[in-house]
Each structure stands twice: as structure tokens, then as C-alpha cells.
Amino acid sequence: MTTQTPSPLPGSLADVDPEVLAMIDGETRRLRETIQLIPSENYPSQAVMEATGSVFTTKYAEGYPKRRYYQGCQWVDAVEDLARKRACTLFGADHANVQPHSGSSANMGVYLASLNYGDTVMGLDLIAGGHLTHGSPVNFSAKLYKFVAYGVDPKTELIDFDQVRGVARANRPKMIVVGATAYPRTFDWATFKEIADEVGALLLADIAHISGLIAGGAHPSPVPFADFCSTSTHKALRGPRGGMILCKSEWAERIDKAIMPGLQGGPLEHVIAAKAVMLHEALQPAFRDYAHAIVSNAKALAQSLLDEGLTLVTGGTENHLLIVRLGETGPTGKEIARALERAGLIANANTVPGETRGAFQTSGVRFGTPAATTFGFGADEFRTIGKLIARVIKDPADTTMLKSTANEVRDLCHAVETRRLDLSHSAA
């Protein structure tokens, strides 16, 4: 039973603002009747949602546990300490900072702690699957630092270590950033570390997409190799929206100072409480099963799409996501993503290596399994989802088919939800 939050405002959301409540209800329905295939999204647990909506939202707590600029911090100190301790235990890290408001803020904090403006940094090209904060020209990262990009082999679409080594030797970066938003393969951290050491660079592993897989033992961990790891907390890790930094102990003080007072003021202690809950959940044995199910479901989806004759970037997947490469002519990724949405399949347009149609229209569509795996879909359902996706990609203008597919998707969601509820009742 949750303790009631004291509030000077009487009334529930239903009484105070039915207009917003209707929007929340609409979003809840959407989440139950369509399939969430955006690889960076997830359904957090009720426990995470309760902590996010808790009384901790009230407190100003600039500083860190036992070193705050405000009084009355005994409980936020306790919860932030618990989150930091759990993060270090889960990932085997020396130090954790759980205050970043997002994955982007976490990266900003790492750069601020370790680089001077104008320093050279290496990151994966956005087109090849990198992130905005890894040196996209429209992002602060490229405005404040001199980013040089490494890419993927145009044939295999895998990270080309000869190229990585060549770019590193030619540019002698102060930091190499490894991580991606759209790379369907595992990262070879040891080789990146070897290259970083050869040129005297720091190594940042941006594990936002894969931190849940790493926590669950379904992807190799960069923690032994990287000076810093940054992550968001709402993707496969299944927590509240936010960010987190792990680092070696020699960087702890500089990381903490970079986040507060360098970048942020008051931490979002209600979100930090929810991060603590997320980390507790990720430390349970069941989370390992979840992380491995994400990967096996992605492989089932990939095989189903390949069986339908579609082309996947790198030919498949080893993690939680995959990217369908469309033709350079014909419907764009954006047009296909819109058609998929009409069919109840929620994905996003994505660039592919060698992209010719720009970052908004794109020649690819990205799919991921973390959220739908949480919802209860297994390999059989993912094979069915693959068939439905292929049907839409092959004929995105057939509105009758899109409508009937949306009905099939809704039935599939209801069946899975009913099965899940039945199982939870029988377990109780």
C-alpha cells in the first residue's frame, strides 16, 4: 500500500482535469491495442511508475548525498545512495552518477568532465547508426568539439576496424565514442580499447540501447574496458525516462562536478527513486531471462522478415533491433512507417548505411523487441509480426489490408494480454 502524498490540491486527476485524463486513457489504449516495435521504448513496471509519481517530486536536492545545498534531504539521500549502489552492483562499475536527466545529458556530462572545447573526438557516423550526440553537425557535440566519424564496411555493413584504426591514427582523438541507435550487432569492446590505447584516447561506451542486454548478460559488457559508460534508463533497462553514467573511480569527482553544478541544477529525485526500483528489478534472475528473450525474439523476427524476402542491414541481428533496407526508389522509410502505424505496428523510419534519401524520409525502417517482449510476445508471435510487417511493406497503399491488419494486431494484443493475466492469476 503506497503512502498517500500530502497535497494542498483536493481531488484526483479525474476530478481536476478530465481532459488530460482522457489523453492518458487514450495513450493507455494505444499501448494495449498496437504493437510497440520502436527499439528505444519499453513498458516500465507498475513499481517504477509508482516511484516516478511519488512524493520525491517535491524535493529540491542540489548536490549529492550528504553534500546537499538544501536541508531535509535524509530520504532523497537514502534513495539516491541506493540507486548508485545498485547501479555499481548491477554493472560491476566503480562509480555511478544517477542524476542525468537523459542519455544526451549523460553524454554531455562525460564530455564536459573529460574534454576541452575543440578537442577531437571520434564517433560512429549518424547515417551508419550513430547518435546525435556522437557528432551530428546539428547537435551541440559537433558545435563544441571536433568530431571525426568512423563508419561501417559498405558491403558487410559491420563496423570496419581497419577504418576505425585508420581514422584514429590519422586524427589522434582525445576520446573514442562507441555506441549506436541503429546497429544490430554486438560491439567488440576489447578491440576498441586496444585502438583507443594505441592512440592515447579515452573510451566512452554509450550503451543506451543495450544497457538492459548487458545487465541481463545478453551482450558483452564494456565496463572492464571503458573509462565511461553512459546510458538512458528507459530503453531495454525498462526504467523511467532518464540517464546515468558509470565510470572508473579516477573520474568520479569530475563526472559528479560536470553533472552538478556543470550542467544541471536540482536532480529529479522521483525519477532517481524509480531508477533505484528499475535497478532492483534488473538485479533479479528473471531479468536475465527477459534480456535473453529480447535477443531471441529479435532473431525470430529477423528470420521471419528474411523468409518473406526482405533485406536486413548486416543480414540480421545479434541484439534487440533490426533494420529493413528498402529500395532506393519506391516508398520511403517514412511512408512505410506511416502505413505500418495504420496497421497497428509502431516502428520508425531509419537511415541505412549509404543512405541517399536523408534522415527524415530514409530508405529503412527500424524494429526492436524490448517493449513487445515485456508485453508478453514470444518467438511465435514475433514470427507472425514479421509476416504482418512484410505484408504492409509489400503493399503500403492497400488501405483495406491496413485496416484488417490493424484488427489482427488488436486481436493478437488482446490474446497475449489475456494469456499474461491468466498466467499471473494462476501464479498467485
Question: Residue 64: beta bridge partners?
Answer: 67
* DSSP one-letter code for 256: H
Q: For ligand DSN, which residue of 40, 105, 319, 363 counts as binding (CB under 6 A)?
A: 40
CB 365 to ligand DSN: min, Å: 13
Binding to ligand DSN (CB under 6 A) within 113-152 occurs at 131
227 close to 251: Cβ distance less than 8 angstroms: yes
Closer residue to ligand DSN (CB): 201 or 336: 336
What are the φ and ψ backbone dihedral angles of 122, each rounded to 5 degrees?
A: -110, 135
Largest alpha-carbon pair distance within the chain? 64
Per-position x/- string for 153-182, each x denoting binding to ligand DSN as judged by CB under 6 A, each - no binding: ----------------------------x-
Burial of 306-320, coded b for 16+ CB within 10 Å and e otherwise, reads beeebebbbeebbbb
CA distance 292 to 288: 6
Which residue, chain included where needed, has cell 548505411?
353
Closer residue to ligand DSN (CB): 63 or 353: 353
Closer residue to ligand DSN (CB): 103 or 370: 103
CB 333 to ligand DSN: min, Å: 14
Binding to ligand DSN (CB under 6 A) within 69-108 occurs at 103
CA distance 386 to 203: 37
CB 121 to ligand DSN: min, Å: 18
Q: Is 231 in the site for ligand DSN (CB under 6 A)?
A: no
Closer residue to ligand DSN (CB): 207 or 406: 207
CB 209 to ligand DSN: min, Å: 6
340 close to 388: Cβ distance less than 8 angstroms: no
CB 391 to ligand DSN: min, Å: 25
Consecutive H or E run containing 405: helix 399-427
CB 124 to ligand DSN: min, Å: 13
CB 169 to ligand DSN: min, Å: 30
CA distance 415 to 361: 34
Closer residue to ligand DSN (CB): 140 or 161: 140
3-class DSSP state for residue 349? strand
Closer residue to ligand DSN (CB): 95 or 131: 131
CA distance 163 to 32: 44
Closer residue to ligand DSN (CB): 56 or 228: 228
How many chain residues are in contact with ligand DSN, going by CB under 6 A? 5
Q: How would you class 303 by CB atoms within 10 Å of its CB: exposed for 0-12, middle for 13-18, buried for 19 or more?
A: middle
Q: How would you class 207 by CB atoms within 10 Å of its CB: exposed for 0-12, middle for 13-18, buried for 19 or more?
A: buried
Closer residue to ligand DSN (CB): 297 or 348: 348
Residues that bind ligand DSN (CB under 6 A): 40, 103, 131, 181, 208
